[in-house]
Structure 1
């Protein structure tokens, strides 16, 4: 299975009417825990993080953690898209997007 595009992760749930968890991680331990839980429960997973986490850990380190921990994973996982795609005011961001590239839209 492994890392899949968000559209692929959500196609089954949308058609079959079930939810996919989107879990916020803030370090290697939380990333490892949510990935292990997804495998244990045979569940697809959306992983998200905050701008603060990206700034404190660094996008290169976070990306390296993501690629290492998802290599060979047995369930479909994806990083969350940047929140500004949806016009949300949340500070969550894509694991693969640098914080400076995330404009926040406030309504």
Structure 2
């Protein structure tokens, strides 16, 4: 039997064969319902965040950057100011500017 004979034989019977296609699930994600308690998320950023604005910073000259100013620091600052003042006064005297 040739291929032509076979096609004539199938057409003569008038039978339609059925092609089965596999079922394709829908593309959307399935709905899951969790019956357990809700998960509470916490993070360092969320825990550190302050919802109200902080109060105004009060500058304390005795305490800055965690260091306490003692007598030696105050003396050094005053000494630097005095040296700068004397230097400016000598420059003014050298230029002939009267007080």
- Shared fold (TM-score greater than 0.5)? no
Higher strand share: 1
Task: Please give the range of the TM-score, normalised by the shorter of the 2 chains.
Answer: under 0.3
Determine which structure has more spread, i.e. the larger CA radius of gyration.
Answer: 2
TM-score where L is the length of structure 2:
0.17
TM-score where L is the length of structure 1:
0.16
